[in-house]
Structure 1
Amino acid sequence: MKISFVVPTRNSARTLAACLGSLRTQTHPDVEVLVVDNKSTDATVAIGERFADQVLQWGPERSAQRNHGTKCSTGDVVVFIDSDMVMEPHLAAEIAEKFAAEPGVGALVIPERSFGDGFLAQCRRLEKSLYVGDAAVESPRAFRRELIEELGGWNEDLTAAEDWDLADRTREVATIGRVETYIWHDEGHIKLRATFAKKRYYGRWIDQYVSMHADSSTKFTRTALLNKPGRLLRHPVLTAGLVTLKATEAAGLLLGVRDSRAANAR
């Protein structure tokens, strides 16, 4: 079973070598790696050319990049990876084993943990650990080719919540399984100002996603953060930092939603 990994990029030089290097050292014998770049101005393309089977140019955003990567890939399974993620070496092998053993499963969730520099990255690491196994938050990344094609791929009108949208559509037509091997997300050095700006940008698409999925409220309430109070109580300082981080993100999203509504009202 051939596994194609599609990695959208834009100025991803800081993390891309680690990401692609982890894909090139997979234990599964039949792995294809595609980088789909969107006009990077740093060393992203050069790094991609060192590691990937194909380096493509496409845009304007990551949903379109992923769809183009799917079109150009040749694997029986397509796995969508972000450029700041590092894969454990047995990931592709476990994906192939799961799909072979469970023919009724059309997509797989890959659990995620994070790492990074500084206090807020440690807060994020605590947060991500609470989400493992929470179906309201986790979304599938590995798809049988026939399923992702049947779904029509990623919604190119969404640049935020596009993973939840695809997960919602997948659940309507297929069974979603999961693997035990982790993806490790490189958070880098988290800064509140940059986090706020990023969430404000993503907030433009939140209204659109909510209007498309009436049952989407659990995606934003993050009940998983309250379902394991013992873990939060064991880390009171990190929990306090996490509260600050989530409040900053919420403020950015709300302002982004307001910006979108104001623009649409003109």
Structure 2
Amino acid sequence: MRKPELNIIVPLLNERSEIASFLTNMVEQQDVDYELIFVDGGSTDGSLEYLQQAVFPGRVFSSEVGRARQMNAGVQQAEAEWLLFLHIDSRFSDPRALRRALDMLQQPGSINLAGHFALKFRRREKTPSHAYYFYEWKARLGRPETIHGDQGFLLRKELFFRLNGFSEDMTVMEDTDFAERLREVGQWQLLPAEISTSARRFETEGLWQRQLLGALIMCFRDVGWQQFFVEAAGVYRQQNKADQLQIRPFFALVRQLLKALPVKERFLLWWRCGGYVRRHAWQLFFAVDAMRAFYLKFPPGQGSLRVTNCFEPLWNLLSDNLFGRLVATFALRCWFEIVDLWLRVREAITR
């Protein structure tokens, strides 16, 4: 049997309800020779049994649980030159999405080029949402820490191995970590097709709750505060079956871990986090552009970045110094205290 042009790696864990729809959507892809590789991490809802009986162009494997481990295990079974990492709730509306994406990346001298698709959320609520619009547009910018696994990662297998795959010691944000490591040696390209992903997690846990937790995780990943991720895993397991994500335990954990640090280390941690916040303040200007484009009914990514392009250089000029870092660190410290107080009051009221 000849090797496929593309291997699509899909990690699974208790996703029985999504599999049939995913397979139907993939069968609709045209003019591309692909093979699916599902890697199950120990499903107990019949996902593995369903796939073992289903007919589709691909294979099914099992591995230790953990998205990074599962995707790395899938690559070990891949025979194609090209790899595409997808979530099971990913869908394409364009039947030639994969063909067009591969054609874009299969250019001379593109060995270090990788692609991600334009993100669209599938929501139960059909009313337009500025918040979702903001994240859909931001995902198309390709800026640092705006590329995540729900956008799909398309790249050559050779490039994947040069990066040593996904970091298996990361329990969360392994996709963001991979995207940023790839950025250091290559370049991300926005592919000419849209990928939709289910907003089920946001709708179940709460959009602002999930994004607030995501902001903490992104910041602590960037500054290398591994102790948070070690301890936060236990906090998350306590409420991963709840209808709404509880943020207060994470803030309490941060406070507890900070209290255990010597004063100097505590200050250095806030200092590094302040630097992270300063670099990402461009999102405040971008939010203004996104709001204007949303109310003018522009599709995500097609509005003007006038405010961002005008004020971001000015902000960097004024803040990229010792005083600017101090201000950002102090502002972050105040923000943490205010949000923590608000969460405690909110928790007390809702009891």
Q: Give the TM-score range, shorter chain.
A: 0.7 to 0.9
> Which shifted more, 223-232 or 179-188?
223-232
SS of residue in 2 equivalent to 1:6: strand
> Which shifted more, 57-66 or 94-103?
94-103
CA contact (8 A) 1:160 1:202 kept: no
Q: Residue 186 and residue 196 in structure 1: after superposition, are their counterparts in 2 closer, same or farther (change >3 A)?
A: same
CA contact (8 A) 2:140 2:190 kept: no
Larger Rg: 2
Q: Tell me the distance in 2 between the aligned counterparts of 1:59 and 1:123.
A: 39
Q: Residue 9 and residue 68 in structure 1: after superposition, are their counterparts in 2 closer, same or farther (change >3 A)?
A: same
CA contact (8 A) 1:110 1:180 kept: yes
Aligned residues: 239
Q: Tell me the distance in 2 between the aligned counterparts of 1:196 and 1:30.
A: 40
Q: Tell me the distance in 1 between the aligned counterparts of 2:33 and 2:276.
A: 37
Q: Residue 35 and residue 204 in structure 1: after superposition, are their counterparts in 2 closer, same or farther (change >3 A)?
A: farther
Partner of 1:67: 72
- Matched AA of 1:100: Q
Partner of 2:317: none
Tell me how far 1:194 sits from its aligned partner.
6.2
CA contact (8 A) 2:113 2:187 kept: yes
Partner of 1:23: 26
SS of residue in 1 equivalent to 2:88: coil
SS of residue in 2 equivalent to 1:16: helix
Q: Tell me the distance in 1 between the aligned counterparts of 2:200 and 2:30.
A: 27
Alignment of 1:247-258 (within 5 A): none
> Which shifted more, 199-208 or 115-124?
199-208
CA contact (8 A) 2:130 2:294 kept: no
Partner of 1:225: 287
Q: Is 2:147 the counterpart of 1:138?
A: yes
CA contact (8 A) 2:142 2:190 kept: no
Q: Tell me the distance in 2 between the aligned counterparts of 1:120 and 1:169.
A: 37
Tell me how far 1:124 sits from its aligned partner.
5.7
Q: Tell me the distance in 2 between the aligned counterparts of 1:67 and 1:200.
A: 29
Gaps of 5+ in 1: 236-249, 256-266
The equivalent position to 1:86 in structure 2, one of 81, 88, 91, is: 91
CA contact (8 A) 1:37 1:55 kept: yes
Q: Tell me the distance in 1 between the aligned counterparts of 2:212 and 2:63.
A: 24
The equivalent position to 1:48 in structure 2, one of 48, 51, 56, is: 51
Q: Is 2:117 the counterpart of 1:110?
A: yes
The equivalent position to 1:9 in structure 2, one of 9, 12, 22, is: 12
SS of residue in 2 equivalent to 1:229: helix
Alignment of 1:116-265 (within 5 A): 116-118=123-125, 125-136=132-143, 137-139=146-148, 141-188=153-200, 190-191=202-203, 193=205, 206=218, 209-212=221-224, 217=277, 222-223=283-284, 224-233=286-295
CA contact (8 A) 1:159 1:205 kept: no
TM-score by length of 2: 0.58
CA contact (8 A) 2:84 2:153 kept: yes
Deviations 1:151-185 (A, max 9, x none): 00111122322222111111111122221111111
Q: Tell me the distance in 1 between the aligned counterparts of 2:217 and 2:19.
A: 26
CA contact (8 A) 1:17 1:47 kept: no
Gaps of 5+ in 2: 226-271, 298-334, 341-351
- Matched AA of 2:113: G
Q: Tell me the distance in 2 between the aligned counterparts of 1:48 and 1:116.
A: 26
Tell me how far 1:11 sits from its aligned partner.
0.9
Q: Tell me the distance in 1 between the aligned counterparts of 2:86 and 2:280.
A: 21
Partner of 1:37: 40
Deviations 1:177-199 (A, max 9, x none): 22111111122384454668867
Tell me how far 1:115 sits from its aligned partner.
0.9
CA contact (8 A) 1:4 1:34 kept: yes
Q: Which has the higher contact order (CA 8 A, sep 6+)?
A: 1
CA contact (8 A) 2:13 2:42 kept: yes
> Which shifted more, 71-80 or 206-215?
206-215
Partner of 1:258: none
CA contact (8 A) 1:34 1:53 kept: yes
